[in-house]
Amino acid sequence: MTSLDDLPIRDDLRGLTPYGAPQLEVPVRLNVNENAYRVPEAVAVDIVQEIARVLPSANRYPDREFDALRASFATYLGHGLQPEQIWAGNGSNEVLQHVLQAFGGPGRSLLSFTPTYSMYPLLAQGVGMEWVPVPRAEDFTLTPEAVRAAIEEHDPDVVFLCSPNNPTGTAIGLDVIEAAMEAARGIVLVDEAYAEFAHDRSQTALALLERYPRLLVSRTMSKAFAFAGIRVGYLAAAPAVIDALRLVRLPYHLSAITQAAALAALRHSGEMLARVDQLRQQRDRLVDELAAHGLQPHPSDANFVLVGGIADPQAMFSALLERGILVRDVGLPGTLRVTAGTPDETGAVLAAVAELTAE
């Protein structure tokens, strides 16, 4: 049988491994920042009914422009946004890929501040553009001065700012985004996948869109709307940016079923955000109580906590897994990342950590 090494794949793909986190069936799964709560029954019923409404027409292609969904996203986001300022895809990763396909490519560069979302360099490689990682401060924060200096030094075509940042949970101030916009000659995208979990939801880059026509703000339904299995991401930007993204999308890229499911879920945004508030409480509980056990959890505006001060992360990862708890080793020395779960899941993590630290 022909092996991967025998195939004429691109040279820059040789030796790589696919992106992915462990998918293990354990009682407490807190490793990939999923929403710990299942879709509420009333919401699920509404989604099923909406899908049933469109299913008989599945012999026809879906609405290529997903007009109803764009209007619903614009209403949900607020800030005076109009449907022509909205884009969507099969998860925010596809939306980010569209951005790099339109504004990146060979001979161009993508800059971001590390550690950050591990898909950024993979997406850059996928379109043949240069990846420019700039280290964050020791506490993972960014200042306007640092961002401005990095952009002026490297002159990237595209800048990605992750806020709250994955895997650190660090928020970015609007002054940092403003500094990036003033220094960058190209596109600046703020990845707000975890924005609904922030302590102050008003501190969103959406508030700056009217002033900066080359600013893009991406979101996802995977986290706040418990839609990780449905795959819906979206983006707000100037209408001209949306026109550029149309040039690179595949035809009919959002299925009728995906559009129907997302529309129904958005009708229940209040109920879903109430679940988000519960997860925010569990995140803060993790920060407070892990610190009491002598660890060093970093402040987080996301639905996870990066926990520092761990002498042997791999040993603790394995010990937690033996107890049926799956967390994430993101490769940062002395740390593990723990997703906020239900009260029972949080309690299981804290009890296990208390036992392990006592040992």
Based on its alpha-carbon atoms, the radius of gyration of the chain, rounded to whole angstroms, reads 21
Rounded Cα–Cα distance for residues 4 and 9 (Å): 8
How far, in Å, CA of 294 to CA of 117, rounded?
A: 27
At 238, give phi and psi (nearest 5°): -65, 150
pLDDT, tens digit, 9 for 90 and up, residues 63-115: 999 999 999 999 999 999 999 999 999 999 999 999 999 999 999 999 999 99
Beta bridge partners of 308: 296
Angle between helices 67-77 and 256-266 (to 10 degrees): 30
pTM: 0.95
Beta bridge partners of 225: none
The 10s digit of each residue's pLDDT in 295-349 is: 999 999 999 999 999 999 999 999 999 999 999 999 999 999 999 999 999 999 9
pLDDT digits over 150-208, tens only? Answer: 999 999 999 999 999 999 999 999 999 999 999 999 999 999 999 999 999 999 999 99
Q: What is the pLDDT of residue 111?
A: 98
Partners of residue 109 on adjacent β-strands: 130
Which domains are assigned to the chain?
A: 4-39+270-358 (3.90.1150.10), 41-267 (3.40.640.10)
The alpha carbon dihedral of 42, 48, 51, 53 has a sign of negative
Token pair recorded at residue 144: 């306007």
Q: Do the Cβ atoms of 316 and 326 come closer than 8 Å?
A: no
Phi and psi at residue 114, in whole multiples of 5°?
A: -100, 150
Q: Are 229 and 47 in contact (CB under 8 A)?
A: no
Task: Output the CA–CA distances (angstroms, integers) from residue 89 to 68, 151, 200, 234, 354, in the order listed.
Answer: 14, 28, 27, 6, 42
CA 233/CA 235 separation, integer angstroms = 7
The CA-based angle 317-322-326, given to 5 degrees, is 50
Beta bridge partner(s), residue 155: none
Smallest CA-to-CA distance from 306 within 121, 139, 133, 122 is with 139
